[in-house]
Amino acid sequence: MNTAILELREKLDAALAAAQSVAELDGLKVEYLGKKGSVTALLKNMGKLSDEEKKSFGREVNELKDYAAEKIAEKAAALAAAELARELDAVETFDISLPPVLDRGSFHPVTLVQRRCEAVFRSMGFQVEDYSEIVTDYECFESLNIPPFHPARDMQDTYYLDNGQLLKTQTSAAQNAIYKKYKDALINEGKPIKAVFPGRCFRNEATDACHENTFFQMEGVMVGKDISIANLIYSMKTMLSEVFENYGLKVRLRPGFFPFVEPGFELDISCQICGGEGCPSCKHSGWLELCPCGMIHPNVLREGGIDPDVYTGFAFGLGLTRLAMMKYGVKDIRDLNSGSLVAMSQFTEDK
């Protein structure tokens, strides 16, 4: 073999052995095989050779070209494989035959309380209904004996859409639809209407430890023949005792005004946070306003297609958010909307 070719080949071998990266190899490719590379440069000496020598020299140069290309590619593949092996070593290994660790998250305290209430009401024969969050003025106010310009609207300012619909301020907004849905079964088959409908409500409220602009209620109605305040008190007491698992729970009724009931009441329970001593959560009264309620106003029944001379009923609007605070000892309502997974996950027993 021509000495110049042999020297170049040895130089290449040494450079390849020393190369550590694909970038270096790219450099070698240019250095040896590029247009101005050392292999091409060998051809410049061809002129001095005889025809016979030119042939064998040309062949050897071509062989060196092939050799260089092959060795550079080989080394590139080896470097890439070593790189992959290094990356794989760095990956945390895991055993796919081990049982999975599933962090499933948890139910929000309001959801827990809502489900508990639903279960209790179901056991008392109530239907659980769902209802939309965006409603009409008729559903939220007019059908509930709150005509336009009624002062009761002032307490329930909310978010209005351009088309006149609004984010519901109270779950009572579903009452009219519920009456219309079940009135035929009531009138024709004598089946009393018994339904609860939980939902999210929105009000333009100044926020403090016990008020939020977004909160949950659970509305309930019972309509039939001879439904009285006694039925109302019994249902409320039974439900609250079950929810708090406290059968000595104290409740009190005070008169309250709501345009859609007559008479109307405020049902309070003894504060479960301070035990009735007085604390910020109960505004230092020892009592917590939990469940306004009353006998459904004749106008409201009539608007739902039910004759108030034949049927009577009660309605209530349970504050689910407030109930969750009481049950789980959450002192500030804002914590419930905080999005803190650590705080909100501690009440779920079975994740």
Instruction: Name the residues that contact ligand DAH, by CB under 6 A.
Output: 170, 172, 219, 258, 261, 264, 292-294, 315-317
Residue 49 or 177 with smaller CB distance to ligand DAH: 177
Task: Decide whether 98 or 206 has the Cβ nearer to ligand DAH.
Answer: 206
Q: How far is the CB of 204 from ligand DAH (least distance, A)?
A: 14
Closest approach of Cβ 219 to ligand DAH, in Å? 6
Q: How far, in Å, CA of 292 to CA of 328, rounded?
A: 21
Closer residue to ligand DAH (CB): 29 or 302: 302
* SS3 at position 326: helix
Neighbouring CB atoms inside 10 A of 240's CB total 21
Nearer Cβ to ligand DAH (32/304): 304
Which is closer to ligand DAH, CB of 109 or CB of 264?
264
Question: Which residue number has the CB closest to ligand DAH?
Answer: 317
If the CB atoms of residues 110 and 344 are measured against ligand DAH, the closer one turns out to be 110
Residue 286 CA to residue 258 CA, distance in Å, equals: 24
When the beta carbons of 15 and 315 are compared against ligand DAH, the nearer one is 315
Closest by Cα among 199, 193, 242 to 218: 199
Nearest distance from C-beta of residue 162 to ligand DAH, angstroms: 25
Place of tokens 């039974």: 238
Cβ-Cβ contacts under 8 Å for 335 (sequence gap 6 or more): 343, 344
Residue that the structure tokens 């001379």 belong to: 309
Q: Which helix (H) or strand (E) holds 174?
A: none
CB of 155 to ligand DAH, least distance (A): 7
- C-beta of 79 vs 152, nearer to ligand DAH: 152
What is the phi-psi region of residue 286: left when phi exceeds 0, alpha when psi lies from -120 to 50, beta otherwise? left
Token pair 């470097």 in the structure block, residue: 79
For residue 128, the cross-strand partners are 196
Task: State the Cα–Cα distance between residues 297 and 311, nearest whole angstrom.
Answer: 11
What does DSSP assign to residue 296?
E
> 138 phi and psi, to 5 degrees?
-60, -45
CB of 95 to ligand DAH, least distance (A): 55
Shortest distance in whole angstroms from residue 265 CB to ligand DAH: 8
Task: Compute the least distance from the CB of residue 295 to ligand DAH, in Å.
Answer: 8
Q: Are strands 214-224 and 312-319 parallel, antiparallel or unpaired?
A: antiparallel
Q: How far is the CB of 287 from ligand DAH (least distance, A)?
A: 17
**Element of type H or E holding 59:** helix 51-90
Question: Cα dist. 21→35, 57, 81, 89 in Å?
Answer: 23, 32, 12, 19
